[in-house]
Amino acid sequence: MATARRRKSLALIDRLRSEPYSFEFFQAVRLLEIATQQDSTEQYAKAPVAQHATPAKELVRFTASNKLSFAGADVLSLNTEVNGLESPDQEAQLRWLMNVSFFGQGGAQGVLPIRYTELILQELKNKNESLSDFIDIFNHRSISLYYQAWHKYRVPVNFERSKNQRSGHPDKFTQALLSLAGIGTSELQYRLPFSDEHIAGFAGSLSRSQRTADQLKSLVYQMFGLDIEIQQFKGQWQPLDQEVACQLPGPTNGLGVNNQLGVNSIIGTECYHAQSKFSVVVSPLPYKRFMELAPGTQKLESLKSLIRMSVGMELEFDIAVTTSNSQVPPTRLVDEPDYQPSLGWNSHLHSDSVLGIEPMNINLSHDMHMPEDGIPLYI
């Protein structure tokens, strides 16, 4: 059964065939290209015009009007024809035949002298189409290059063609934006828990060597619709390497290491570092959206990946998620699709007397992972 999108596409093509004069040339060719790529019957040739395919494999063949009158529309007619076979074992396919009025070698707006147009019209009157077909060889190529020149520098239509062809490779504009964002090579692409195309929209921000807190807030809001606050300089204790620890003189280290009082001696194995960590505080969420950020969910993994990509590997962070106690259902040991209790998340014990007085706040570390069978995956 045809999908609604398929029926809509067919209705639009039927209108294009019956009323070609109501469509602009570029829009008409674009619609034919989309409809042909979505055709699953292999009935039509699918190669875009002015690419690397031979004219017999292109989805549309262009002809120019040879009339000396001035037309009121770009596209005069649209029909179908059987493409020419290049070899006996090749199966014949249909392709579109479009007659245009604004471009060509002959006709009222042609580049050839009027005498050639008169000669073509005289031959057509004598039912001899040889000269007209010969001129249309050059018309087709010229009009194809004209369309390709329009197509080349327009971002939406390039993106659209790449998606319809399902080539698996981004179009050149998306590729350029991904390169600015730092994932332009094939080895770095398709490694995020969300589509790389989402990153292309943030290429301007991600191309900077440093990100500000306001930029990170904007990225998270545009990507996930979450209002967040960035709490900077969240100090933490970090372990010291053995090489910087204080060591007294001994048989293995001579005079010792880092043992000058007031210079380089350190007592202990940890050091407090105030600028290596920050917190992402999410504004209070309804319970349903709160569960979308549960450990192990795709949305949480995507959020952590975006933050990690933005700030780099040198900074650590945690994510604080808050909801109202009154919205959390009581813990029940049941097997229901709408309720999945998880320890440390939504299966806490509480009293009715304090219900809803204080918000429930949970901090998630950037490296926290849940086992695969710990909680169902939310999308």
Whose CA is closest to 117, among 97, 139, 144, 96?
Answer: 139
Judged on CB neighbours under 10 Å (0-12, 13-18, 19+), 97 is middle
Question: Distance (Å, rounded) from C-alpha 74 to C-alpha 70?
Answer: 10
Question: Distance (Å, rounded) from C-alpha 181 to C-alpha 207?
Answer: 5
Residue 318: which residues within 8 A CB-CB, separation 6 or more? 234, 277, 279, 280, 363, 364, 365, 366
pLDDT at 91: 61
CA atoms within 13 A on the CB side of 319: 27
Mean pLDDT on 145-168: 87
- Residues 265 and 361 grouped into a single domain: no
Do 34 and 90 touch, CB atoms closer than 8 A?
no
Question: Distance (Å, rounded) from C-alpha 122 to C-alpha 130?
Answer: 12
pLDDT beyond 60 at 207: yes
In the DSSP assignment, the letter for residue 24 is: -
Taking all residues of the chain, what is their mean pLDDT, rounded to a whole number? 83
Amino acid at 249: P
- Residues 187 and 136 grouped into a single domain: no
Distance of CA 89 to the CA centre of its chain: 40
- Residues 146 and 34 grouped into a single domain: yes
- Residues 269 and 290 grouped into a single domain: no
Q: Which pLDDT tens digit goes with each residue over 38-65?
A: 776 667 888 888 888 888 888 899 999 9
Strands (E), the chain: 60-64, 75-82, 94-100, 228-231, 236-239, 270-273, 277-282, 316-324, 359-365
Name which residue leads in pLDDT, 8 or 279.
Answer: 279
Question: Structural domain of residue 15, as residue ranges?
Answer: 4-165
Q: Which pLDDT tens digit goes with each residue over 112-150?
A: 999 999 999 999 999 999 999 999 999 999 999 999 999
Whose CA is closest to 173, among 156, 192, 195?
Answer: 156
pLDDT beyond 90 at 312: no
- Residues 182 and 263 grouped into a single domain: no
Phi, psi of 80 (to 5 degrees): -120, 155
- Residues 312 and 216 grouped into a single domain: yes
Question: Distance (Å, rounded) from C-alpha 276 to C-alpha 316?
Answer: 6
pLDDT beyond 80 at 88: no
The pTM for the full model equals: 0.70
Query: 3-class SS at 97?
Result: strand
- Residues 18 and 160 grouped into a single domain: yes
Judged on CB neighbours under 10 Å (0-12, 13-18, 19+), 31 is middle
Mean pLDDT on 246-253: 81
Question: Distance (Å, rounded) from C-alpha 361 to C-alpha 347?
Answer: 13
- Residues 263 and 147 grouped into a single domain: no
- Residues 141 and 223 grouped into a single domain: no
- Residues 10 and 136 grouped into a single domain: yes
Question: Distance (Å, rounded) from C-alpha 301 to C-alpha 366?
Answer: 9
Distance of CA 125 to the CA centre of its chain: 54
- Residues 226 and 160 grouped into a single domain: no
What total number of domains does the chain contain?
4
- Residues 62 and 143 grouped into a single domain: yes
